[in-house]
Amino acid sequence: MACLRVMAANDTRFGLGIEAVCHLAGRFGFPSPDAGEAEEAIYYLARKGLLQEVPKPLSPENRLWRITGAGIAFLDERG
């Protein structure tokens, strides 16, 4: 839930990296996860269609993610 809430709060087309998600999770009442935990959660949510990777032609090794419409609907359903 923390990953989805952080991504929903990022109202841009650019997405967020794993480090940013780790840093911002505390704003939503979650202890800051380590990068491995956040990466695992992000990949899981992406496989479920709730997050998507932002295509980057330059520096594709710096992966960024953003919430999908399905992710926003998932959060809306759960308040």
Distance, CA of 25 to CA of 49 (rounded, Å):
20
Where do the domains of the chain lie? 2-77
Question: d(Cα 64, Cα 76) in Å, to the nearest integer?
Answer: 23
CATH 1.10.10.10 fits 2-77, yes or no: yes
Identify which has the larger pLDDT, 5 or 57.
5
Query: Distance between CA atoms of 33 and 55, rounded to whole angstroms?
Result: 25
pLDDT at position 28, please? 80
Q: Which residues pair with 67 in a beta bridge?
A: 51
Beta-carbon contacts of 55 under 8 Å, excluding residues fewer than 6 positions away, are none
The pLDDT, as a whole number, for residue 79 is: 77
Token code pair at residue 77? 């359903």
The model's pTM = 0.87
15-70 pLDDT, tens digit each? 999 999 988 888 887 887 888 988 999 999 999 999 999 988 888 888 999 999 99
pLDDT at 65: 95
